[in-house]
Amino acid sequence: NADTAMYHAKALGRNNYQFFAEEMNRVASERLSIEARLRQALARQELSLHYQPQFAADGERATGVEALLRWQPPGEGMIEPARFITIAEETGMIVPIGAWVLGEACRQLRRWLDAGLPPLRVAVNLSARQLRNAELVLTVREVLAETGIPPQLLELEITESAVMDKPEEAIQVLQALKQMGVTLAIDDFGTGYSSLAYLKLFPIDHLKIDRSFVRDIERDPNDAAIAVSTIALAHSLGLRVVAEGVETAAQLQMLRRHGCDEVQGFFLSRPLPAEAATQFLLRRQEDRTRRLH
């Protein structure tokens, strides 16, 4: 961060200090430019969603998709969420942007259901800021009413840290959402500070094991132990487990062997634009029907 950078720069002497000061200026002005352009992005329709399929542990049947936000300003490449989500959160822009994401994801699911795909879930990421906003429950209710999708097919992903930020407030919002029948998931599990025992106080359905534990699951016995015991403990608490970041057949096999319920990752499919996701899901469905006959 800026303070440590400054500290090191001073320790290195005058020229380096100059360098770091310029670097920090550059970072600050990039931030300002992103902030200014992000304010226009929604109205200018520069935002879109990509959809990454999730599968039953056999890796065959698609159980849902995770909606992932993308931003493409005209004449530029795609800007990844890592570069703008934090700014959207800090400025509060995540509230209107997040409401748009909820609506768009549910409208897309409506199209898929209307096209005859078997019921699948659409998962939407929520930030801490949205969870603390009183409008969230209303927004979700409106979107469900407007699109008519069965509430349990909408899954809301919340990170441990977002929940633990203000646990008493979070629990009330989550209970209201649960009462509507939506599915709730804890995202990036294992990266924040919480325990499963504590999380059990929240009305959650799914636990997503963070991809940092999946990455070295075959090589690092500690990561394997964390993943395996998380699966066991989650099951004993009645939660379904989804592993994210599955990149190899060996990881998939190991997760399946240890009873992980669902999987998501580049090995199975990258996040896809809506049209490509539609083709992917339809093709999968055809393959399955053919195999069953």
Give me the residues that bind Mg ion (CB under 5 A), please.
125, 157, 187-188, 244
Nearer to ligand C2E, 19 or 266 (CB): 266
Give which of ligand C2E, Mg ion, none residue 127 binds (C-beta under 5 to 8 Å, depending on kind): ligand C2E
Contact (Cβ atoms closer than 8 angstroms) between residue 151 and residue 180: yes
Angle between helices 167-180 and 135-147 (to 10 degrees): 20
Give which of ligand C2E, Mg ion, none residue 104 binds (C-beta under 5 to 8 Å, depending on kind): none
Query: Tokens representing 97?
Result: 């942007």
Contact (Cβ atoms closer than 8 angstroms) between residue 17 and residue 9: yes
- For position 169 contacting ligand C2E by CB under 6 A, the verdict is no
Nearer to ligand C2E, 122 or 144 (CB): 122
Nearer to ligand C2E, 20 or 51 (CB): 51
Nearer to ligand C2E, 198 or 266 (CB): 266
- For position 80 contacting ligand C2E by CB under 6 A, the verdict is yes
144, 127, 121, 139: which is closest to 65 by C-alpha?
Answer: 121
Helix (H) or strand (E) holding 88: helix 81-91
Nearer to ligand C2E, 20 or 50 (CB): 50
Of the candidates 95, 231, 245, 277, which one interacts with ligand C2E according to CB under 6 A? 245
Contact (Cβ atoms closer than 8 angstroms) between residue 23 and residue 50: no
Write the binding mask 3 to 42 for ligand C2E: x where contact by CB under 6 A, - elsewhere: ----------------------------------------
Nearer to ligand C2E, 131 or 231 (CB): 131
Max CA distance (Å), the chain: 75
Stretch that binds ligand C2E, among 5-13, 120-128, 171-179, 190-198 (CB under 6 A): 120-128
Helix (H) or strand (E) holding 70: strand 62-71
- For position 261 contacting ligand C2E by CB under 6 A, the verdict is no
What DSSP letter does each residue of 107-130 carry, written as one string?
HHHHHHHHTTPPP-EEEEEE-HHH
C-alpha neighbours within 13 Å on the C-beta side of residue 130: 28
Minimum Å distance from CB 274 to Mg ion? 18
Minimum Å distance from CB 208 to Mg ion? 5
- For position 79 contacting ligand C2E by CB under 6 A, the verdict is no
- The answer for residues whose C-beta is within 8 angstroms of residue 176's C-beta and 6 or more apart is 137
- Dist CA 141 CA 119 (whole Å): 20
List binders of ligand C2E among 181-240 (CB under 6 A). Answer: 187-188, 211
Torsion of CA 197, 215, 261, 228, to 10 degrees: -50
Binding site for ligand C2E (CB under 6 A): 52, 68-69, 80-82, 85, 94, 98, 101, 125-127, 157, 187-188, 211, 244-247, 265-266, 271
